[in-house]
Amino acid sequence: MSAPPRLEDLRRYAVARSLFTPTTLAGAIARLGFVQADPIRAPARAQDLILRHRVKDYRAGDLERRYARLQVEEDFLVNYGFLPRAQLALLHPRQASKTWDARTRRQAEDILAFVRAHGPAHPRQVEQHFAHGRVRNYWGGSSNATTQLLDGLHYRGLLRIKRRDSGTRVYEAVTHAPSDDAPAARAERAAALIDLVVRTYAPLPSASLGYLARLLGGGAPHLINELRQALSLARQRLAHVRIDGTDWYWPPEENPRARRHRLDDRLRLLAPFDPVVWDRRRFTLFWGWSYKFEAYTPAARRQFGYYALPMLWRGQVIGWANLSWRQGRLETTTGYACGAAPAEAGFGAALDEELERMRQFLAPR
């Protein structure tokens, strides 16, 4: 019987399985299973920063430019992002946990009828027709009511994103095939959703696996009960090991101790939502320090910076960098978990090479 994996095996496995050899855009999204999206550009959107490490010759904005030709959808899973179209059957038809009142429901039905009649619609076009005004949003400010209604219809699976125009969603009506609502079929969909997030973020500490299952409840609120049961069953069927009091889980067909999980000398600046660093619990267990996303933290209280990109080198996240792209020039500041840059030979050259790759990624096609 082979020896159980150690923490360093899991760390190497986590990095190597996620940072696979660059492939096609469609292939990378299929292999990742889910790519989180974020609108902040610092220096590029999160989805582009994630894909640049996994897609050959990828440039910022390629996903938006090629989206309409891909079998990919923008949708909500554990949060908002991109996933293979085939996965939508696990999520839709979906009912929101918060129901609309009669007035809002009528407004939404009118918008849906408008989009069905007129074809792909820009929010500005819909607002010009309906002029719903402003409403209070989740953050306490005000938002365009039409935009919120479009978002709600999209979340419920009645609209999909056809494309983006300069970053703005263009919607079209869509009808999902009826799903089998039998208990066994619902349980199967819930189990498949658990497997999807495990494949994206493995290996996972037990607490993180539970957290992801709860987040899946936002993407599939109609499967809440089934997800709880699927999580319990997953803990029994997934491969796992206990290390220093923490239970870890990963797909049963994978071996964290396999020799193929080798690391190279390339330095990588990762998006804050990259699968390698997304799980902050795992981050601390793997690398011995706590990383925080501080874009919404007041500037005076920031430790790392507005949009600090974790710096991965030789299997260790050793620090971070804040980058800005101004008039074709890349401006960079760095910080290090131990207080100073590594003194090891090759670090300076590795950082310079990564910054040059970043310049090429940001340069217009």
Distance of CA 31 to CAs 152, 219, 252, Å? 29, 20, 17
Q: In angstroms, rounded to a whole number, what is the distance separating the alpha carbons of residues 190 and 187?
A: 5
C-alpha 277: how far from chain center = 11
Domain ranges of the chain: 102-173, 268-362
Residue found under tokens 């005076």: 300
DSSP state of 250: E
Distances (CA, A) of 72 to 16, 30, 69, 278, 351: 24, 9, 8, 22, 33
C-alpha 69/C-alpha 83 separation (Å) is: 14
Alpha helical stretches, state H, the chain: 7-18, 25-32, 46-51, 62-66, 102-118, 123-130, 145-155, 183-201, 206-219, 224-237, 280-287, 347-362
Query: Tens of pLDDT along 55-87?
Result: 999 999 999 999 999 999 999 999 999 999 999
φ and ψ of 205, to 5 deg: -65, 155
What is the predicted pLDDT for the residue at 140? Answer: 44
d(CA 337, CA 318): 6
- Give how far Cα 342 sits from Cα of 96, 97, 221, 336, 348, Å: 49, 49, 46, 8, 9
Give the number of residues written for the chain.
Answer: 365
CA atoms within 13 A on the CB side of 247: 11
**Residue carrying the six token digits 């007035």:** 103
Peptide bond into 43 cis (omega under 30): yes
Task: Compute how many other C-beta atoms are within 10 angstroms of the C-beta atom of residue 360.
Answer: 13
Low-confidence ranges of the chain (pLDDT < 50): 134-135, 137-142
Q: How much is the pLDDT for 68?
A: 94
The CATH number of 102-173 is 1.10.10
